[in-house]
Structure 1
């Protein structure tokens, strides 16, 4: 058998060999495509040859890795080699090195992320402990009544099935992000109407433990559709739009015992007194400045 020498490119050391991996990959793809045109028996022979060659390569690579790991001086070289993307890919293809669980899990999430994003949501992997993947759901899920449904269907099954070290998934709550109303906007001057305040009426006229939908017009001409929630005589005003799709909340369900307000359209649930969305963490009802002055309720809809 004659030896074949690959010359080093000009300007590089003699032991440097330029490898066009794209061309090699294309050769492999072309060969695999050609196998499809063979009859079944010929394909079986070709597959057996491929498996045998891969087994020889893997056995040789395993021996190299084991010998280098056993030698203190060679171990440092081995670790440097594994950091090389091409070498790492080669060893990964032969399952000699495996990605750490976080890397593996994130690669799996890449495959389901487009489906989540198509529904207005996303998932972030926070950590993995004792076989449990802790994730955080971001955004909202279009048409879903509960964010956990999307998580369980698209994420949990993928992680548990494709990452051997993961046995379950836990959802971490997002940090609440309530609407902050500047103190200045709550002050009522001598002429409230000129400052965008609109008198709603006596506080006693707002039914306790109910919500009231109102159409308000400021002196400046600005208009706003709002709801006023009276939860145990604690009043909160919000723009009459669900944070999910902007649909009205006139017929939302106010649960006084749980302190929640649930959209009648797709079941998105909110904290009745803060407007924080409990279904899709990070979403929020737009809170309107509300004051009770001398028994009269005022809501600011303009500036």
Structure 2
């Protein structure tokens, strides 16, 4: 090919140059809808759609690997590569093609979603705690909690799934059972005659944060103490945190909540958290500041200070 036949990138000009880029959620939703539509096709149409998808993915995979390999091998572009990987859309793209693998904690939680329906069908469940030195620590809940068949359940379902599908995990251990907290009516703890309990704020209604959603609110107690808060609902398990990422303190209003994985991902630099505990899965030791929560009827109460 001569120099005259090589194509060059078109200059950015006109209205297209000012168009806003689609959001992470828009892109992910478009992919999900396309895959779902292609999966519904039958016969020759379904086979053609599957082959087209596989061919396009293979082209992207080979090209992206070549780009990543070249950038990683050159000192002047290695830092840029690491910066790009922190972008949620770039991270998603590289993850889809197996170029960037999820951290062991995120990977383990995704795997557990595949065995959870079987546990739940018997009235049980499993909660992931953390990974350390190749060991995954979990808790068995519900009917599995303290059941004489817990060891069998663990070995046949949880342990086999984690060890087989998460390369960083070599074994699984069950942590001691912990008592499940009971949500107590605020009125029963603090009679109306005594006024509102110190530090507790009637934050929002349960209808304001549906399962699989998060809501950002500004709360203020009677003494003027306030807090910017995000309230997260994962399978009707409600948690509240100060609206600040543990990385640089940026707000989490636009965070990506993945209910299946049980994770909350900061929209700014991709830091990933356990959505129900606030533990940072990207940087162990970091933590969202969790606030106490009480559900009273259809109201969610948050304690903004002690």
Structure of higher CA gyration radius: 1
TM-score, scaled relative to structure 1: 0.44
